[in-house]
Amino acid sequence: MSNDATLILRHAKHVGYFLTLWIYSLFYDGDNHKHPSLSARPSFDPFVSVLSYLAHHLSSYPCIPILHLFSPSSFLKVKSLSLSHWEDHEVQFMAENGNEMMKSKYEAAVPVYYYKPTHKDCQVLREQWIRAKYERKEFSEPGKNFTYEEGTRDGLLMKRGRDNGQFLSRRFVLSEREGTLKYFTKYDAKEPKAVLKVDTMNATFQPEKIGNPNGLQITYLKDYSTRNIFVYHDNGKEVVDWYNSIRAVQLHYLKVAFPGATDAELIPKLTRNFLKEGYMEKTGPRQTEGFKKRWFTLDHRRLMYFKDPLDAFAKGEVFLGNKDHGYNAFAGLPAGTHCNGAWQHGITIQTPDRCFLFTCETENDQQDWLKHFSDVMSAPMSPQEH
């Protein structure tokens, strides 16, 4: 430990800003912007008050939104850079033990399918990741039996009704052997209301859309159309356990289907977040109909649109192929298009069969959609997508 560091520490009340710089230089290695406990804010600034608090018992740096999870009597000891007195041995400990060392301890045995959240993910995912690591110490020892790998998961989730919009308790059964997720309208019902095959299923957290901090959207194919169901559980751990159990079953299915594939090749095929969602206006195939406001979801190469964000079925889907196969997206509308809506920032999607016309409320929104469309159309297509 340098004399400069000791001097800064002993005058922390007056030079907390510089101590923050020094602590930052000790622990920021270029990857920590991906660590949810360092980057819970979309624009991470190492000089703000997030780094004014240190969990020096762990020698890692949870941000303020994570600190509130733990009571004062819990294992997590918190000290302020600017208000607390620091002993030399404490600074020495911080200098010798950093996030990477703690990661090797508390993330020693994370299953490959377990979703590691980033700052972009919702609160319940980040909270349960922190609790699983530091509170429950789930991943500290190799060889543990995980609840996500039990083969069958059977329990109750609150599910939104397709027609009435009410959330009612429904029984769900996830089976690794069958590769399915079933749900029943009654707990003792013999036949399921629906059977979801894990190879066509996706799950993504949607707290704002669903109106519940633990809200989960599950999509699957039904009669060649995408079906949405919306669920939640009052217990955050329970809903995250369901989520990671789905990922575990999906990985098992993929390993059987593609025995020569590596984990690195299969993990991207598990649950995924939507690339973008939001409102646009669209017109019909004749391009003479009025523009109507619709909710759009971009799920990889599928652009789906709904009358309402919580609709069970999309009103339509647009497949976005590769640019080399006649797909393109550009700003503006064809000459002569009558735009009756209030939104004037047009987008034209060109496919081999027809053009789709949309309008956005703002130019920023238009450019963001176009960027996502361009990224998708520039990506090579898999054999299954041809």
Let me know: does 16 contact 52? Beta carbons within 8 Å. Answer: yes
pLDDT tens-digit readout, 229-241: 999 999 999 999 9
Let me know: does 249 contact 182? Beta carbons within 8 Å. Answer: no
Residue 16 has pLDDT above 80, yes or no: no
pTM: 0.79
**What mean pLDDT do residues 337-362 have?**
90
141 — pLDDT class (breaks 50, 70, 90): confident
Q: Note the pLDDT of residue 49.
A: 31
**What mean pLDDT do residues 74-85 have?**
55
Q: Note the pLDDT of residue 72.
A: 45
Residue 32 has pLDDT above 70, yes or no: no
Strand order in the sheet with 167-175: 194-197, 180-184, 167-175, 152-160, 225-232, 216-222, 202-205
Q: Which helix (H) or strand (E) holds 302?
A: strand 302-306
For residue 151, the tally of other CB atoms under 10 A from its CB is 12
> Where are the CATH 1.10.220 domain residues in the chain?
3-106
How do strand 328-331 and strand 345-350 relate by DSSP bridges?
antiparallel
Does residue 123 or residue 52 have the better pLDDT? 123
Let me know: does 204 contact 274? Beta carbons within 8 Å. Answer: yes
- Tallying the residues shown for the chain, one arrives at 386
pLDDT tens-digit readout, 230-286: 999 999 999 999 999 999 999 999 999 999 999 999 999 999 999 999 999 999 877
CA distance 223 to 368: 32
79 — pLDDT class (breaks 50, 70, 90): low
Q: Note the pLDDT of residue 97.
A: 63
What topology does CATH give the domain 276-385?
PH-domain like (2.30.29)
Amino acid symbol at 109: A
Residue 131 has pLDDT above 80, yes or no: yes
3-state secondary structure at position 219: strand
pLDDT tens-digit readout, 203-238: 999 999 999 999 999 999 888 889 999 999 999 999
89-93, 266-270, 338-342 — most confident range: 266-270
**What mean pLDDT do residues 144-165 have?**
92
**Helices and strands, number each (H, E), in the chain:** 10, 16
62-71, 86-95, 355-364 — most confident range: 355-364
φ, ψ (nearest 5 deg) of residue 131: -65, -40
Q: Note the pLDDT of residue 249.
A: 97
Mean pLDDT for the chain? 81
Q: Which of these ranges, 29-38, 177-186, 349-358, has the smallest mean pLDDT? A: 29-38
Alpha helices in 40-157 (DSSP H): 64-67, 88-96, 99-106, 123-130
Q: For residue 219, give Cα distances in angstroms to 56, 223, 225.
A: 42, 13, 10
> Where are the CATH 2.30.29.30 domain residues in the chain?
147-264, 276-385
Name the class of domain 3-106. mainly alpha
**What mean pLDDT do residues 335-360 have?**
89
Q: Note the pLDDT of residue 143.
A: 82
Q: Note the pLDDT of residue 349.
A: 96
Q: Note the pLDDT of residue 307.
A: 95
Q: Note the pLDDT of residue 99.
A: 64
Name the class of domain 147-264. mainly beta
Q: Note the pLDDT of residue 80.
A: 55
